[in-house]
Structure 1
Amino acid sequence: MKNSWIIDISYGHESFREEAPEELVQQRVSSILETLGVEPCELSVSFVSDDEIQELNKTYRDRDETTDILSFVQDDEVEDFSWPELVYEDDAQPAEIRVLGDMVLSLDTLKRNAQSFSVETDEELFRLLIHGVLHLLGFDHATNDESEPMLVQQEQLLVKLGGSKR
């Protein structure tokens, strides 16, 4: 199943590659998708600065503030944007790939979060990738309270995947 995921990774600044290496991000997102049993899909992950994510947050959520991650779910009902992409599996019939959407992470906020929560930046990166994938799969939370079912699932996945040092 691993070969059927298309994970596009981009960086707002070249220096962000060192903080969130492409190979590591690919591996982490693949392990999340595999653990959740997600079928062939495509998604993107972009790493940006606080200024860039603040502008996106203002434009798309009407919140003029920074945030750690934004998830933009691909709406399957928007006809103007749906063209099928095909994957061929072992000479079988082509399978349509589900486009999940886009995740945008601020590395600036990620680092502040890690310091605030007394965790390594690597752990916080893994946490945010899980968080974003869950949003792209349709999960949501009303608050940031740790008892929110989505946030409980996020932390359980983080432990299961070996990303938590707690």
Structure 2
Amino acid sequence: MLKFFYEEIDFKVPQSLKTSKWLKNISLSEGYKLGDLNYIFCSDDYLLEINKQYLEHDYYTDIITFDNSEEEGKLEGDIYVSIDRVKDNAINIGVSFDIELRRVLVHGLLHLIGFEDSDDDLKQQMRAKEDECLLLY
């Protein structure tokens, strides 16, 4: 079951039902069903503390994905999204907040599916898949 949570931020996912269906359809199209998948929307400072505590990184990021999957073919996890970073990213790359938010949401899902972005080639593959998924919204 896909759920949205909010920590230390005044925000609600726009078109949450449509967004949930879109994410579920992407997972199904990649051969996965959704188990317990939680998106936690938060502030920069909240996500910075998660980054420090669990990954030992002392910098802001837009998303952190924790894979809790135990059953093959079933996606489960906690995906933390900094709304502050999404807003800044949208401005910096010249897209709307809603488009950048969807890109970040699908980015986390793609990590659970197995996509990586640890080098330039993998980042390019991830971005191409994000773009493909955005067209399905």
- For the residue of structure 2 that corresponds to 1:16, the secondary structure is coil
- The reply to whether residue 112 of structure 1 matches residue 95 of structure 2 is no
Which is helix-richer, 1 or 2? 2
Instruction: Call closer, same or farther: CA 1:14–1:60 in 2, change over 3 Å.
Output: closer
Count of residue pairs brought into register by the alignment: 136
- For the residue of structure 2 that corresponds to 1:72, the secondary structure is strand
Instruction: Call closer, same or farther: CA 1:55–1:10 in 2, change over 3 Å.
Output: same
Stretches of structure 1 that go unaligned for 5 or more consecutive residues are 1-5, 77-83, 85-95
CA contact (8 A) 1:110 1:121 kept: yes
- The reply to whether residue 61 of structure 1 matches residue 55 of structure 2 is yes
CA deviations over 1:7-26 (Å, ceiling 9, x no partner) = 02101146211xx2443442
User: What is the TM-score of this pair, normalised by structure 2?
Assistant: 0.84
Instruction: Call closer, same or farther: CA 1:71–1:46 in 2, change over 3 Å.
Output: same
CA contact (8 A) 1:73 1:102 kept: yes
RMSD: 2.5
- Matched residue type, 1:16: F
CA contact (8 A) 2:36 2:75 kept: yes
Aligned match of 2:36: 42
Instruction: Call closer, same or farther: CA 1:97–1:36 in 2, change over 3 Å.
Output: closer
CA contact (8 A) 1:72 1:102 kept: yes
The alpha carbon displacement at 1:144 in A equals 5.9
CA deviations over 1:84-139 (Å, ceiling 9, x no partner) = 9xxxxxxxxxxx99352111100000000000010001100110111000011122
Aligned match of 2:76: 100
Aligned match of 2:3: 8
Q: Tell me which moved more, 51-60 or 37-46.
A: 37-46
Give the number of the structure whose alpha-carbon radius of gyration is greater. Answer: 1
Identical counterparts, % of pairs: 32
Aligned match of 1:90: none
User: What is the TM-score of this pair, normalised by structure 1?
Assistant: 0.71
Stretches of structure 2 that go unaligned for 5 or more consecutive residues are none
